Structure 1
């Protein structure tokens, strides 16, 4: 898997973010998307909240529905994904010495028209989130479908920034520094699916 992991790390070290396509195969994307929909139809999803405890639902800020993944109850498809993330954590610690100790991931489904306004993933009261990770589960996504991830990247002088928009193509993984890069999810014209989470220090 090093051929997948290396460009992510190279990008993070150079720019604060890394992107790699085909982190998941088409079959893996399809299997996880199917499992996501089955769990949603079973009533396991809830509206996502904001804040450290994510207890406050505010649709004017974010409109996604989520389900946290738990290793104890994971299906084979979900276990495969979490194991691959575990391999990535080991690689990052071995090559970058970040001291990552844990991770947390959830399914995220954005119904048509929903979004997540500009924000930072790391909380002021909790700095354990070191890297944010998003892996998309969308099939045949077109630019006209919207739903782009926008990263706001500071220029070297720190006084200005530029915006990078990333298409949520199935199998693509995006990883960026949780405490550094603000970002937002643009409204999508159809359901937008992903597995999203954070790699955490002690």
Structure 2
């Protein structure tokens, strides 16, 4: 990853608390992720998303997910996992966040499905410090939200 782009993300997070980081991966790598996600979804290998420690189904969200095995990513997932690791290390170095690990999952939202407004720090736990969304749908636009 380009160190100047990582520095821009760090500056934005430190200043605004959020940022948009476009084109994290080359187009072919993003297409490989999208293809793998679509194939997993088509074969029924994504499951109804759950929330909380108890991992219960909820009307708060209507997506289907599959978590990455971060220590054994697929070939399609490898570039994304490497990018997350580079960002994690840079955040620790520059922002002293103490991030120990990263996690990632595919999420597919059928038409009309949603994930209600929520906090990524349930029950005041401080384990999750940075959250990211990487859109794989080619026709996504900022006005679509997310």
Q: TM-score, normalised by structure 2?
A: 0.90
1:101 corresponds in structure 2 to: 100
Mapped partners of 1:89, 1:123: distance in 2: 21
CA offset digits 1:98-133 (Å, max 9, x no partner): 111111111111111111111100022532111111
Higher relative contact order (CA 8 A, sep 6+): 1
What are the residue-to-residue correspondences of 1:121-200 with 2, within 5 Å? 121-124=120-123, 126-142=125-141, 147-149=144-146
CA distance in 2, matches of 1:125, 1:12: 21
1:82 matched to 2:81? The reply is yes
Partner residue in 1 for 2:18? 17
CA contact (8 A) 2:50 2:57 kept: yes
- 1:73 is displaced (CA, Å) by 4.3
Q: Distance in 2 between matches of 1:43 and 1:19?
A: 31
Question: What corresponds to 1:91 in structure 2?
Answer: 90
**8 Å CA contact retained: 2:91, 2:97:** yes
The whole-number CA distance in structure 2 between the counterparts of 1:31 and 1:130 is 28
CA distance in 2, matches of 1:42, 1:73: 21
* Cα separation, partners in 2 of 1:142 and 1:92, compared to 1, 3 Å: closer
- 2: CA distance between counterparts of 1:92 and 1:101? 11
Partners in 1 of 2:7 and 2:74 — Cα distance? 28
Bigger share in strand: 1
Counterpart check, 1:116 vs 2:134:
no
Residue of structure 1 equivalent to 2:50: 49
| Gapped regions of structure 2 (runs ≥ 5) | none
Moved beyond 3 Å, runs of 4+: none
Quick check: 2:12–2:18 contact (8 Å CA) kept in 1?
yes
1:52 shift after superposition: 2.5
Shift of 1:45: 0.7
1:6 to 1:48, Cα distance in 2 relative to 1, 3 A: same
The alignment covers a number of residue pairs equal to 145
The Cα of 1:142 is off from its aligned counterpart by 4.5
